[in-house]
Amino acid sequence: MTRIQDVAQLAQVSTATASRALSRPQQVAAETRERVLEAARQLGYQPNVLARSLRQGETRTLGLIVADILNPFHALLAKGVQDTAERHGYSAFLFNSDEDPQKERRALETLRGQQPQGVLIVPTSGAGRNLQTLPGLPVVELDRVSGQPNPTVTVDNLDGAMAATRHLTGLGHTRIGMVVGQQDITTATERHTGFRQALRAAGVPYDPALVRPGHHREDDGYRAALDLLSLPAAERPTALFVGNNEMTVGAVLAARELGLRIPEDLSIVGFDDSRWAQTMWPPLTVVSQPAYELGVLACDHLVGLLTRRGGVPSASLPLPATGPPAPAPARLQLPTQLIVRRSTAPPPATILPAPPAADPA
């Protein structure tokens, strides 16, 4: 690799001048500047950011840890972050925790070695502990919250879940099942709470027997839905609210397998929109989340934090006794949107003794 020394030599200047010509052009005589730029072009010079970062004490690098890059929601969120980081002149390094606190810990350690100036994270259930290994490093939590005093960028899960539930009660459903996510992840509990509150507001009793837990995977949704939909006809829910996109796929497959027509026999509302939700048949009614914007907002906020605190994070100066107290960490929240498609309808008028025959998958 060509070094700045090579450029300097070819342009007949010192490395200092070469460096200046490249990064503070106006500090250098026009003619010299041209020589250096030409030399750099000719040699295909690209500065070694490692050396630069080491010298400047800032890497212009961010860490990004998502829980599951194969989930389109997280992929889109990651894209929002990376695009935004680039706009601000940062690079965002992407890691995957696969929803596993152990892997998250390893990712954070690896990341720490890279000296990022800040970290964006979709925290796993173990993030509380893991994040304490990063003292002095600005962290923004995305989508969920770990309980640590970090800024968070989330969507209004409570409101989204309420809107979904209200939609179902509004159609006349009174036996509504829910497939909830892991109870140690905030999005899951918030959606569960929203579900209960909306039921209460509609005067529909909350029946714990109609609520099944899952771990966010398609298969969990499948099993939970199969379970709920196999109840005797008089107890079986006429509508299902599913807590995330993956589990919704499973729930739809379960309904299909049982020969239940959507929405005639069963209404389904999913949380988080997706290509699949739009193109399955019938298209799915969902609570959509602005995934890309979530990433953009989180990254903008983090960069803002870095800019304000002035580049070099000085963990060595814990808290200057004087000066204004640090402001409380921001809690940014984006709205969700209920998109009514064709998977929801009023409940069947009469209780059918058995599911109607249909083509079993």
Residue 16 main-chain phi, psi, to 5 deg:
-60, -45
Question: What dihedral angle (degrees, nearest 10) is formed by the CA atoms of 299, 301, 304, 309?
Answer: -110
Q: Which residue from 47, 282, 348, 355 is in contact with DNA, where contact means CB under 7 A?
A: 47
Q: Does 53 help bind its own copies (rule: CB under 8 A)?
A: yes
Beta bridge partners of 212: 179
The helix/strand count (H/E) of the chain reads as 13, 12
Q: Does 91 help bind its own copies (rule: CB under 8 A)?
A: yes
Residue 91 binding: pick among its own copies, DNA, none (C-beta 5-8 Å cut-off by kind): its own copies
Q: Does 3 help bind DNA (rule: CB under 7 A)?
A: yes
CA distance 274 to 251: 15
Residue 56 binding: pick among its own copies, DNA, none (C-beta 5-8 Å cut-off by kind): DNA
Q: Residue 134, SS3?
A: coil
Asked if residues 329 and 151 have their Cβ atoms less than 8 Å apart, the reply is: yes
CA distance 203 to 131: 42
Q: Which residue from 44, 55, 326, 354 is in contact with DNA, where contact means CB under 7 A?
A: 55
Asked if residues 22 and 40 have their Cβ atoms less than 8 Å apart, the reply is: yes
Q: Does 314 help bind DNA (rule: CB under 7 A)?
A: no
Query: Shortest gap between Cβ of 103 and DNA (angstroms)?
Result: 24
Q: Does 15 help bind its own copies (rule: CB under 8 A)?
A: no
- Which are the contacts of 60, defined by CB distance < 8 A and separation ≥ 6? 49, 53, 89, 90, 91, 117
Residue 93 binding: pick among DNA, its own copies, none (C-beta 5-8 Å cut-off by kind): its own copies
- Contact range with its own copies by CB under 8 A, out of 23-31, 64-72, 229-237, 328-336: 64-72
CA distance 64 to 121: 6
Measured from the CB atom, the residue of 78 and 225 that comes closer to its own copies is 78
Q: Does 315 help bind DNA (rule: CB under 7 A)?
A: no
Q: Does 355 help bind its own copies (rule: CB under 8 A)?
A: no
Beta bridge partners of 94: 64
What end-to-end distance do the CA atoms of the chain give, in Å? 58
Measured from the CB atom, the residue of 279 and 316 that comes closer to DNA is 316
Query: Which residues of the shown chain bind its own copies in the complex (CB under 8 A)?
Result: 1, 44, 46-51, 53-54, 59, 69-70, 72, 75-76, 78-79, 82, 91, 93-96, 109-110, 112-115, 133, 135, 218, 249, 252-253, 256, 275-276, 279-281, 283, 315, 361
Query: Which residues of the shown chain bind DNA in the complex (CB under 7 A)?
Result: 1, 3-5, 12-17, 19-20, 22-24, 27-29, 31-33, 47-48, 51-52, 54-57
